[in-house]
């Protein structure tokens, strides 16, 4: 079987989800051929840069304005009609790679690409099934498109919203979760990992993640916690952001391990007691797989704020606002609260998301009956 996955560069989550799915499936069935392509990039530099750079600029420089647009676009409107018409007009840019690869199924990891593919499917230009993978924890009107065969969502709550609010047939929505690399779900011994990573085995450990945009707010949150609680040890991962890394170099204390981009984030998550992060869909999904309590800072209005609300309501996360140092310190001293948060992560953490998605695709491609299987393994 051949599966084509379209991603986008509006944040790192879409590509991580696609890479994780590909990695898992090739372990399950090495004969399955998977091609991952940046779909927005195929539409041309002008449109791709407008969407990707526009999102980054609005989210960082004018988050409240972005949140207003996000909220107002969560329904049928002139703004949505305009956006949908533009995206529908871009769909033909995807056809050359589709025709060349000749997939048996297509996965879309971005709302705009979902609209393009749905339109191609509706017109009859595309005859293979299309699966929309939503990489957040709350739905939105722009994720929905006529012509899409199946939606993969992160939770039962999202299934209920898609069926009740957006009128998507229930047998077309599957709460299998967001794919992450298998290593995040593998059991690990906290103290042994700390020793391996050069950390103190006994000290409570706080992991800071800067997010795919590496926003500078994490600096003030780090200072607030680190200056208040010098007996803790910290791991700070700045990602692909050398500027932020160098800013941290000037303020870190002796109990801090400072890192840029790493390939073993799973180990740093497994050895930590809590993660302080922005609520991007993939980082959150990875944390949930590690059963790692989550503290959220600076959630952008829109997807991130919705993700944060979901996690807090489920008991898996807290929001850091005033006095973050005091909040983290108090929580780390409350072993019962930490354990309860970890258990909440475990409860809402999907089992084998990539395998369940792959099994669904196999059934659809083979024209088998589609059942509502939450966790097949």
Q: What is the mean pLDDT of residues 159-163?
A: 94
- For 121-157, the pLDDT digits (tens) are 999 999 999 999 999 998 889 899 999 999 999 999 9
Q: CA-CA distance, 66 to 75, in Å (whole number)?
A: 16
- For 295-345, the pLDDT digits (tens) are 998 788 888 899 999 999 999 999 998 788 889 988 999 999 999 999 999
Angle between helices 78-90 and 111-123 (to 10 degrees): 70
pLDDT more than 90, % of the chain? 65
- Output the average pLDDT for the chain: 90
Tokens of 22: 């590909």
- For 91-116, the pLDDT digits (tens) are 999 999 999 999 999 999 999 999 99
Residue 236 vs residues 190, 206, 222, 304: alpha-carbon distances, Å: 17, 8, 9, 21
Q: In the CATH scheme, what is the code of domain 182-348?
A: 3.40.50.2000
Q: CA-CA distance, 283 to 273, in Å (whole number)?
A: 16
Q: Write down the pTM of the prediction.
A: 0.90
Residue 177 neighbours by CB under 8 Å, 6+ apart: 154, 155, 285, 349, 350, 353, 356
Domain residue spans in the chain?
Answer: 2-178+351-365, 182-348
Query: How many helices (H) does the chain have, and how many strands (E)?
Result: 17, 12
Sheet of 173-174: strands edge to edge? 33-38, 2-7, 105-108, 130-133, 150-152, 173-174
H/E stretch holding 218: helix 217-228
Per the rule left: phi > 0, alpha: psi between -120 and 50, beta: everything else, 332 is alpha
pLDDT at 70: 83
Q: Which residues of 351-372 are buried (b: 16+ CB within 10 A; e: fewer)?
A: ebbbbbbbbbbeebbeeeeeee
Task: Let me know if the fold of 2-178+351-365 is the same as that of 182-348.
Answer: yes
Q: Is the pLDDT of residue 377 over 50?
A: no
pLDDT more than 70, % of the chain? 96
- For 264-281, the pLDDT digits (tens) are 999 999 999 999 998 888
3-class secondary structure, 8:
coil
Tokens of 339: 């354990």
Tokens of 318: 């807290």
Please enumerate, as own/partner, the contacts of 244-248 that have beta carbons within 8 Å and a separation of 24 or more. 244/210, 244/214, 244/216, 244/218, 244/219, 247/216, 247/219, 248/219, 248/222
H/E stretch holding 115: helix 111-123
Half-sphere exposure of 36 (CA within 13 A, CB side): 16
Q: Is the pLDDT of residue 211 over 90?
A: no
DSSP state of 216: T
Q: In the CATH scheme, what is the code of domain 2-178+351-365?
A: 3.40.50.2000
Q: Is the pLDDT of residue 215 over 70?
A: no
Question: Quick one: pLDDT band at residue 203, thresholds 50, 70, 90?
Answer: very high
pLDDT at 144: 92
Q: CA-CA distance, 176 to 33, in Å (whole number)?
A: 22
């Amino acid at each position: 079987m051949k599966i084509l996955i379209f991603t986008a560069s509006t944040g790192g989550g879409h590509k991580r989800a696609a890479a994780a799915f590909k990695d898992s499936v090739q372990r399950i069935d090495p004969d399955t051929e998977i091609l991952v392509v940046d779909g927005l990039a195929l539409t041309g530099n002008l449109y791709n840069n407008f969407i990707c750079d526009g999102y980054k600029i609005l989210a960082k420089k004018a988050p409240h304005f972005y949140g207003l647009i996000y909220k107002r676009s969560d329904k049928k409107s002139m703004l949505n009609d305009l956006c949908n018409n533009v995206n529908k007009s871009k769909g033909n840019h995807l056809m050359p790679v589709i025709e060349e690869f000749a997939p048996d199924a297509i996965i879309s990891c971005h709302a705009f690409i979902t609209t393009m593919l749905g339109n191609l499917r509706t017109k009859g230009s595309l005859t293979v099934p299309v699966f929309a993978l939503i990489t957040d924890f709350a739905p939105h009107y722009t994720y929905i498109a006529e012509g899409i065969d199946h939606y993969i969502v992160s939770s039962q709550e999202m299934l209920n919203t898609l069926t009740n609010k957006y009128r998507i047939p229930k047998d077309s929505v599957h709460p299998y979760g967001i794919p992450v690399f298998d290593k995040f779900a593998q059991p690990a011994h906290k103290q042994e990992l700390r020793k391996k990573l050069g950390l103190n085995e006994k000290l409570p450990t706080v992991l800071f993640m800067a997010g795919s945009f590496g926003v500078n707010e994490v600096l003030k949150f780090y200072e607030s916690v680190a200056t208040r609680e010098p007996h803790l040890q910290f791991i700070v991962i700045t990602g692909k952001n050398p500027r932020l890394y160098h800013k941290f170099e000037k303020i870190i204390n002796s109990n801090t391990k400072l890192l840029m981009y790493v390939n073993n984030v799973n180990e740093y998550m497994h050895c930590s007691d809590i993660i302080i992060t922005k609520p991007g869909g993939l980082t959150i999904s990875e944390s949930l797989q590690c059963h790692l309590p989550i503290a959220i800072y600076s959630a952008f209005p829109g997807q991130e704020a919705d993700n944060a609300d979901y996690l807090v309501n489920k008991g898996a996360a807290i929001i850091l606002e005033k006095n973050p140092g005091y909040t983290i310190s108090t929580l780390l001293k409350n072993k019962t609260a930490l354990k309860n948060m970890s258990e909440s992560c475990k409860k809402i953490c999907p089992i084998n998301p990539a395998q369940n998605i792959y099994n669904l695709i196999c059934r659809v491609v083979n024209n088998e009956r589609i059942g509502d299987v939450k966790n097949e393994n």
